[in-house]
């Protein structure tokens, strides 16, 4: 009940609301997926954590919130509008003229499965990174990211080289596929299918790394979420069957599909939670974070900085050649090109510089050849390299969330990420870093929770305000810029306050107490903000189709809050965590 049924119900209820909002005014694509990701991330973290500080569950890190916010968000950077017609037996070639080619409905099931696996599975990949059984060195992180990037590039190369394998009816429709001006829907079909295959490549590449590392729980987590949701989406059929059940109805069945698609993802995460995140066995507890970081081997001493530089150069190439075609496609004039180079090219060059600085710091501060384990106060440069590497890889995706290139928008986004980078450097300089009983520095784990909530909720508020303006004021682009010019600086200000607070009052190294005595309040913050936004962008209030979803969201909110309050009860926390009597005392101490 408490390891399977209630988590599944909670994640499904959150998915039913957030994924329906995903496709609503102001959201859509990556914007809407971030809205859903932060909700699932905060709920997973809250259910998994033990209030006494020493965690009994493997996937309980505070970084899970940021991981699911970004993992689910990135998965939304593509569309699915060209496949639903397959369930009607039609491959549309020019929808505006009503032109189509007959096609088997089986293609609809196949492509919804292909799309559904990475749409939920990329978030599971990111989540798996937050629960390592053994420490992950920088060179392993470089290999992990390289597996995902390499598999994605291989998938796209195969798609472009062998279109007859991937594109439906390509052999019989080759002339039409080559004439995209006459058949514009085929252009969209090619784009959606290529994006789905690219994301499937990322998913498979990250999975291959976990297989090679023999981390079987990570493998089960990634496979369970991907397969369950792929199957669920295929069976839901984009709700195309609703026309047969209610032929004369005018209800918003597309949003019903969105909501049920979110429920499917929630069920997938709930089942995965049961499969991999029950209390760890004694063997797992003894293995976790006990493997020494041995830098006496010259090869191991050279591997992190060399691979860090390799990844830096790879990112520099990708950002100025590959991603330039996407982010720079906003205009073909010289001004657009210069703007792109100033923002993305400058950031990539800074990353290369950071990699060089990392190499110098690594050899200056590394352990001597006789050390087997880093001393407690020694700076953990593996963690530092990973943090900067992942942050820089994700910056180009976040740039797409900014409404404009200059003004407060541009200044806010650079200041935000700059502050996030400076904080970690200052923290390492002032306090060093040492893992606590759960394998990570408790202050940096706090940083992960606050950063995840700030990014997820901040961008949700920014997009929700734009969606509300679109419904009630009109001219959403204008009002979106106005609101973001207020929200962007406010997010930076909140981030600076968090940085000052963590630097001034860090938790001691090896702290074994509860790093988050206010976790319940943080979860309620997420629930209240997300549900207020859901009501604001579900309108106008005089249309019954919209009011029906507002009532539906209230029902899902009540289900979510009852479950959350249920887990708040100390006796249940005892049962849920399998705590010893001493740990139960800690629960009562931290939860009055």
216-242: per-residue pLDDT in tens?
999 999 999 999 999 999 999 988 888
**What's residue 580's pLDDT?**
41
At residue 472, does pLDDT exceed 50? yes
- Which has more pLDDT, 290 or 421? 421
Is residue 344 within 8 Å of residue 319, measured between CB atoms? yes
- DSSP codes, 378-389: S--HHHHHHHHH
**What's the whole-number mean pLDDT along residues 243-255?**
81
pTM of the model as a whole: 0.84
List the single range of 88-102, 298-312, 423-437 with lowest mean pLDDT.
298-312
Give pLDDT tens digits for 93-144. 998 898 899 999 999 999 999 999 999 999 999 999 998 887 787 778 878 8
Q: CA-CA distance, 511 to 513, in Å (whole number)?
A: 6
Q: Kind and range of the H or E element at 93?
A: strand 90-94
Long-range contacts formed by 477-485: CB under 8 A, 24+ apart? 477/403, 480/26, 480/403, 481/403, 481/404, 481/407, 481/409, 484/402, 484/403, 484/404, 484/408, 484/409, 484/412, 485/407, 485/408, 485/409
Sign of CA dihedral 406, 409, 414, 418: positive
Helix (H, G, I), strand (E, B) or coil at 153: helix
Angle at 152 between CA 148 and CA 155, to 5 degrees: 140
- Looking up tokens 């630097």 gives 503
- Which has more pLDDT, 349 or 459? 459
**What's residue 195's pLDDT?**
93
Q: Kind and range of the H or E element at 94?
A: strand 90-94
């Amino acid at each position: 009940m408490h390891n399977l049924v209630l988590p599944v119900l909670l994640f499904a209820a959150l998915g039913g609301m957030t994924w329906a909002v995903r496709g609503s005014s102001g959201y859509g694509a990556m914007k809407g997926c971030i809205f859903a990701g932060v909700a699932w991330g905060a709920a997973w973290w809250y259910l998994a954590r033990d209030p006494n500080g020493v965690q009994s569950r493997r996937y309980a890190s505070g970084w899970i919130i940021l991981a699911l916010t970004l993992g689910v968000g990135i998965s939304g950077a593509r569309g699915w509008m060209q496949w639903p017609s397959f369930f009607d037996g039609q491959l549309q070639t020019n929808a505006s003229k009503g032109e189509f080619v007959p096609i088997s409905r089986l293609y609809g099931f196949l492509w919804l499965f292909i799309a559904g696996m990475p749409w939920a599975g990329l978030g599971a990949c990111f989540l798996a990174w937050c629960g390592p059984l053994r420490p992950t060195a920088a060179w392993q992180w470089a290999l992990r990211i390289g597996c995902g990037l390499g598999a994605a590039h291989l998938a796209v190369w195969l798609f472009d080289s062998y279109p007859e394998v991937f594109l439906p009816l390509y052999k019989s429709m080759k002339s039409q596929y080559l004439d995209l001006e006459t058949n514009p829907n085929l252009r969209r079909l090619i784009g959606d299918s290529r994006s789905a295959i690219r994301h499937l490549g990322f998913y498979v590449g990250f999975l291959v790394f976990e297989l090679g590392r023999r981390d079987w729980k990570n493998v089960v987590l990634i496979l369970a979420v991907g397969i369950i949701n792929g199957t669920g989406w295929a069976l839901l059929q984009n709700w195309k069957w609703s026309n047969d059940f209610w032929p004369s109805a005018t209800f918003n069945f597309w949003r019903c599909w969105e909501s049920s698609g979110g429920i499917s993802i929630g069920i997938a995460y709930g089942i995965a939670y049961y499969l991999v995140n029950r209390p760890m066995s004694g063997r797992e507890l003894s293995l976790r974070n006990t493997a020494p970081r041995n830098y006496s081997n010259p090869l191991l001493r050279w591997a992190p900085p060399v691979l860090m530089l390799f990844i830096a150069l790879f990112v520099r190439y990708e950002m100025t050649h590959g991603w330039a075609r996407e982010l720079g496609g906003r205009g073909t004039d010289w001004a657009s090109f210069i703007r792109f180079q100033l923002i993305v090219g400058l950031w990539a060059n800074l990353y290369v510089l950071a990699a060089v600085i990392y190499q110098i710091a690594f050899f200056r501060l590394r352990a001597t050849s006789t050390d087997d384990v880093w001393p407690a106060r020694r700076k953990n440069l593996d963690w530092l390299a990973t943090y900067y590497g992942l942050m820089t890889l994700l910056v180009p995706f976040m740039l797409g969330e900014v409404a404009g290139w200059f003004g407060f928008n541009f200044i806010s986004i650079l200041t935000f990420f700059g502050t996030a980078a400076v904080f970690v450097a200052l923290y390492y300089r002032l306090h060093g870093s040492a893992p606590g009983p759960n394998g990570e520095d408790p202050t940096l784990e706090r940083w992960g929770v606050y950063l995840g909530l700030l990014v997820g909720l901040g961008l949700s508020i920014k997009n929700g305000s734009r969606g509300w303006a679109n419904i009630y004021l009109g001219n959403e682009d204008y009002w979106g810029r106005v609101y973001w010019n207020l929200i962007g600086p406010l997010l930076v200000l909140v981030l600076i306050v968090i940085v000052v607070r963590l630097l001034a009052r860090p938790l001691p190294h090896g702290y074994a107490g509860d790093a988050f005595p206010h976790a319940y309040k943080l979860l309620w913050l997420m629930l209240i903000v997300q549900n207020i936004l859901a009501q604001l962008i579900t309108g106008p209030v005089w249309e019954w189709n919209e009011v029906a979803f507002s009532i539906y969201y209230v029902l899902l909110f009540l289900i979510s809050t009852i479950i959350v309050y249920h887990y708040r009860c100390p006796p249940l926390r005892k049962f849920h965590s399998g705590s010893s009597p001493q740990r139960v005392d800690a629960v009562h101490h931290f939860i009055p």
